[in-house]
Amino acid sequence: MIHFRNDYNDIAHPKIIKHMQQCMDETHLGYGMDEHSKKARERIQELISIPVFIHFMVGGTSTNKIVISHILKPYEAVISAQTGHIEVHETGAIESTGHKIITIPTDDGKLTVELIKKAYTRYTDEHMVKPKLVYLSQATETGYIYQKDELKDIYNLCQSLEMYLFIDGARLGVSLTAEQNGLTIDDHAKYSDVFYIGGTKNGAMLGEALITKHPSIDNYLRYSMKQGGGLLAKGFLIGMQFEALFEDQLFFEIGAKANQMANYLKEKLKVHQIIFNETPTNQQFIKLPNQVIEKLNQKYTFETWEDHGSSKTIRLVTNYRTQKSDIDQLILDIKNK
């Protein structure tokens, strides 16, 4: 099979594995108090112009759940795009901690200042929840990116409405390395209250690096991590991986490679006049007749995104291991349907 299903289908990037092998004979302090986690924190801090607090988390759903329930009071709610990961694909994890998600329908999965403002103003008194945190994903679940100005505007709105901005960066790697994006990790620290740098979908075995500039969010966060089942006993494993990811630009290299393969795919789709929903990152969405999809299913892995009856939209994900020849083959098979 040729794989376009997702960006987390191998153990880890060889450089990460190699780094871990080199640490095999060491003995470490547990729960993230080790030297590798410390070193990883230092490397991430170097990329950020303001002092921040950094915690290594186990995975995406776990992080979203822990952060949101750590910050909010019981009657406070999260604002999210209707396509947000917390709304669609976390089996009610946020609600399981007691909080309502206020969902906003969008055209492309991206929140805007106008949409947030409109949602916010509907909540007026104690018979309703109080919106207190905006959740957005960078890149979005639909493959798009918030530009620096968009982030900044949303952050300023949040500030003026006394809401927190939390950025789910499970796919931050492909966002930062997309063409003409002008975004840095530092921007995300500046224009959010808390965000994370995704490891799982960017070459690590597991782990996300959670970052906040606020002591008030950092305070007792380890209590919430432990209670949430997200304080890994062998926390040094995640520390080691981020240590490797932020040595010699490996993190960016992995994201860039996934985008290059996406660019090659987009180019080929255009050349062959296959209509698709173009995005700047490593997820592309193509609508194809059912019989084509059935044929592709025998040779390729991918996810069905939406069912339109006689046709379906499928999602093609590239990653740092995708080969040009895989894409060539796929295009051929779509054309020779």
CB of 8 to its own copies, least distance (A): 5
Geometric angle at alpha carbon 26, from 24 and 31, rounded to 5°:
100
Are the beta carbons of 82 and 103 closer than 8 angstroms? yes
- Please write down the long-range contacts of 107-111, taking CB distance under 8 Å and 24 or more positions apart: 108/140, 108/142, 108/144, 109/81, 109/83, 109/137, 109/140, 109/141, 109/142, 109/143, 109/144, 110/81, 110/136, 110/140, 110/142, 110/144, 110/146, 110/150, 111/79, 111/80, 111/81, 111/136, 111/154
Which of 39, 59, 161, 287 is the binder for its own copies (CB under 8 A)? 59
Q: Footprint of its own copies on residues 239-258 (CB under 8 A)?
A: 240
Q: Is 20 in the site for its own copies (CB under 8 A)?
A: yes
Q: Footprint of its own copies on residues 69-108 (CB under 8 A)?
A: 69-70, 73-75, 77, 88-93, 95-101, 103
Q: Is 58 in the site for its own copies (CB under 8 A)?
A: yes
154 vs 262 by CB, closer to its own copies: 262
In the block, tokens 């890149």 appear at 139
78 vs 157 by CB, closer to its own copies: 78
Q: Footprint of its own copies on residues 171-190 (CB under 8 A)?
A: none
Among the candidate windows 2-10, 154-162, 254-262, 268-276, which touches its own copies by CB under 8 A? 2-10
Q: Is 161 in the site for its own copies (CB under 8 A)?
A: no
Which of 37, 52, 55, 65 is the binder for its own copies (CB under 8 A)? 65
CB of 256 to its own copies, least distance (A): 21
CB of 172 to its own copies, least distance (A): 15
CB of 74 to its own copies, least distance (A): 6
143 vs 203 by CB, closer to its own copies: 203
Which of 133, 154, 167, 232 is the binder for its own copies (CB under 8 A)? 232
Sign of the Cα pseudo-torsion (329, 334, 336, 337, in order):
positive
In the block, tokens 């209250």 appear at 193
State the burial class of residue 263 (Cβ atoms within 10 Å of its Cβ: 0-12, 13-18, 19+).
middle
Helix, strand or coil, per DSSP, at residue 226: helix
Helix, strand or coil, per DSSP, at residue 332: helix
Among the candidate windows 26-34, 180-188, 292-300, 308-316, which touches its own copies by CB under 8 A? 26-34
CA–CA distance, 180 with 253 (Å, rounded to integer): 16
Q: Footprint of its own copies on residues 129-148 (CB under 8 A)?
A: 129-130
Beta-carbon neighbour count of residue 153 at 10 Å? Answer: 16
Q: Is 225 in the site for its own copies (CB under 8 A)?
A: yes
Q: Is 55 in the site for its own copies (CB under 8 A)?
A: no
